[in-house]
Structure 1
């Protein structure tokens, strides 16, 4: 029998969205999911599906029915000869990494957080970094979707191809993703290197750093001329043990940073000082490990986040504007600004649609005012043709989004076709896709 929680309050990871659904369901099979959708249609109920709750928006907020796929997870098939794996929709990314790793395989790229479900990650356009790689959705070969009528659709370039580019990033608005087939690769051993360099050096070498490294990202520290650069490249050597590396990440990037963040919350004017100290504290680190062990780091310090995707050629001028604005406006922020690169794709509402991209992520510690900082950073991103990350805070209007995404109208037509009663919509999505203004981020 399917587990059901009645009146259980749900919060996302960042505590920016909270609701008390009438019922929370935990299906264990595709048949359970189909029955739920058909019953929701019969009772005229709305359904939202939740994975790890790592979206900063109100994508899954509902007072009606919430569906968790936590009990519908696992690896169904690993085909080593054809290099693909089929996984159930609720499977977390770290579970996929561990299961594939035991067989000597891996996903070709991952983000810096790996607790999301595979269905949630592809639905919101989750990405890693590396200009040769698209977002995680580009790894998808096939999706099995339960539509708003309870029908099971297998969608790929060969099956129902008219829906394929729409369903790869869909914000959960087309149906419930119950199964995903993804490309896999023989698991590489990477050499991970973290170091600090001067901003002037970064500016001079940026194009070369992007082109010459398999995976490259960097962090700007507000009020500092020091930049942290991280690279990962394949090597022939054996992997090292990672216990000490993970311990250092846990202590330095979480516990110590929590103390710094609390100090900045209590004494906001100290943000400039601690940002500079954090930058100076970046040490040179070199490690070798399997790729899936290096992509992600634990995130225990809660924050608010806005992330924008801009054309890659706009990255350098955008950085100049960002640095100038923070100093001029004296923003009280100590979180570093994360910058990554992603290859162009042809997924209809992917932020990287038809353009090689730079993603710039802005963070503010939970409990510190973020509105003015995010407003100013968003204004800069708009100047550089920025598209918002769907799982992060933003204030773009429906009119804005229709301009930014040439295929959004086509996507919405597919949405109406697969979910004619709007079972998978909520207030946030209605405002985002049909309203005059996108919902303001919660406090």
Structure 2
């Protein structure tokens, strides 16, 4: 948490601010009072989840609302498999909240440290050609608007606003609760293995379509892809969990401890990076196991980094990835962090990166002590040539004029923003850039 008078910074250490005020609401009523108080003082206000966005979407120069204590399960509709959660509830706590009811979230990303409100508001997603991002699981929400009033959005109240409110960038108000459409608890069978990257890319469309969940990582300067294929099974299916010692070696010693050391070494001795990456592909990513869904979807990420991710029409995914590989070779860069490739179903949310089209994602990363500017800018140009849309919670260089061309409902969203927040209480520099002032 941010202490009053202190400095807030995000997890990636690429955004920071010293807010004028910091408040810690524990109830919806307290959020309303905070908004009304900020309005009376003429201050802007932003709610903050876990700080896992790499963009400036959560930067709060005026009043910063820490929502960590606005957390927990509000209600469960067993018959319709719906759960209502307070906005600050962390993703990693949700499986335990749902387990007594035999429920699970339909899909998750590979990191679960975010708050549910932050995850849906920025378009966090997992992988799977038949599954949308986390915001597509939202069937109702409650928002505190700029006048401190509650706006309920569900099947019977303001239903037409759900495609905007479910993924609203924090620009429409403060989300205080969301209702998720859940599914019966299930098991995932995971197969992780290294494969020749050329073969994986050549067969990418079929691989993604055939699997429930498919993704791969490519370490630059290698010819292997670390693939992960997950198959959904009923909860009653046998589970073959990873042995505790083996899991610790893979996920703590190698994937975090050793990787952190090699990334740090690569910043002072870049020529070692290709050899280290080739070693990494031999030591990791070759295992098979099954467990409850959340334990398979998510991974612990202990090495700090910065990230840019672009969403592309899925039919452009392989070509864009090949151009990225060529770019790294031509520029002679030494990139220690892998490139991540995933897929998702299209949806109808106004500002979703997957709106209106089946989507592939390419994410690039750099160790947090390395300057990502040149690498990210060059990759961004490739993604833009392939009709890419940047992830709202990741680093990118686009502004409102460029984004308007990429989102058919962009003007509808900004018109709704004009109606709900005419005084721009919820603005910040990032939102001014991507939505206009």
If the length of structure 2 is used for normalisation, what is the TM-score? 0.96
Question: Residue 227 of structure 1 is aligned with which of 225, 228, 246?
Answer: 225
Distance 1:330 1:69 in 2: 44
Whether 1:31 and 2:29 are equivalent positions in the alignment is yes
Work out whether residues 4 and 25 of structure 1, in 8 Å CA contact, stay in contact via their aligned partners in 2.
no
1:238 partnered with 2:238: yes
Distance, in Å, in 1 between the alignment partners of 2:268 and 2:215 is: 31
Residue of 338, 341, 357 corresponding to 2:340: 338
| Distance in 2 of aligned mates of 1:71 and 1:49 | 12
Q: Deviations over 1:178-214 (max 9, x none)?
A: 0110011111111111001112221332222111111
Q: Which residue of 2 aligns with 1:153?
A: 151
1:362 has 2:360 as partner: no
Q: Which residue of 2 aligns with 1:291?
A: 293
Question: How many Å separate the matches in 1 of 2:60 and 2:79?
Answer: 43
Distance (whole Å) between structure 2 residues aligned to residue 369 and residue 27 of structure 1: 36
Give the one of 102, 109, 112 matched to 2:110.
112
Counterparts of residues 165-244 of structure 1 (less than 5 Å): 165-235=163-233, 237-241=237-241, 243-244=244-245
Paired position in structure 2 for 1:385: 387
Q: Is the 8 A contact 1:192 1:230 kept in 2?
A: yes
SS of 2:119's equivalent in the other structure is helix
- Specify the SS of the correspondent of 2:280: helix
Of residues 83, 90, 98, the one that matches 1:100 is 98
Contact kept, 8 Å, 2:321 with 2:362, in 1: the verdict is no
Structure 2 residues not aligned, in runs of 5+: none
Q: Is the 8 A contact 1:219 1:227 kept in 2?
A: yes
Comparing 279-288 and 67-76, the one that deviates more: 279-288
1:409 maps to 411
How far residue 379 of structure 1 moved from its aligned partner, in angstroms, is: 0.8
CA distance in 2, matches of 1:97, 1:194: 23
1:245 CA displacement? 5.8
- Do the aligned partners of residues 334 and 5 (structure 1) sit closer, same or farther apart at CA in structure 2, a change above 3 Å counting? closer
Instruction: Give the 3-state SS of the residue equivalent to 1:232 in structure 2.
Output: strand
CA RMSD of aligned residues (A): 1.6
Alignment of 1:78-89 (within 5 A): 78-89=76-87
Tell me, yes or no, if the aligned pair for 1:4 and 1:23 is still in contact at 8 Å.
no
CA contact (8 A) 1:5 1:23 kept: no
The Cα of 1:61 is off from its aligned counterpart by 1.8
- Give 1:321's match in structure 2, choosing from 320, 323, 331: 323
> 1:241, CA displacement in angstroms?
4.4
Structure 1 residue 280 displacement after superposition? 2.6
- The answer as to whether partners of 2:59 and 2:428 remain within 8 angstroms in 1 is yes
* Matched positions, count: 433
Task: From 75, 82, 85, give the equivalent of 1:77.
Answer: 75
Larger mean Cα displacement after TM superposition, 71-80 or 387-396:
71-80
Go from structure 1 to structure 2 and tell me whether the alpha carbon gap of 1:401 and 1:431 turns closer, same or farther (over 3 Å shift). same
What are the superposed Cα offsets for residues 81-129 of structure 1, whole Å, 9 maximum, x if unpaired?
2111110000001111221134321101000010111100000000000
1:369-406 CA-partner distances (Å, limit 9, x unpaired) = 21111111101101100000000000012211010111
Q: How many Å separate the matches in 1 of 2:30 and 2:273?
A: 50
Return the match for 1:434 from 430, 433, 436: 436
Aligned to 2:48: 50
Aligned to 1:11: 9
Q: Which whole-Å deviations, capped at 9, do the CAs of 1:401-425 have from their partners, x for residues lacking one?
A: 0101111111011011111211110
Q: TM-score when scaled to structure 1?
A: 0.95
The answer as to 2:65 corresponding to 1:67 is yes
Q: Structure 1 residue 367: deviation in Å? A: 1.2
Name the CA distance, whole Å, in 2 between partners of 1:268 and 1:156. 53
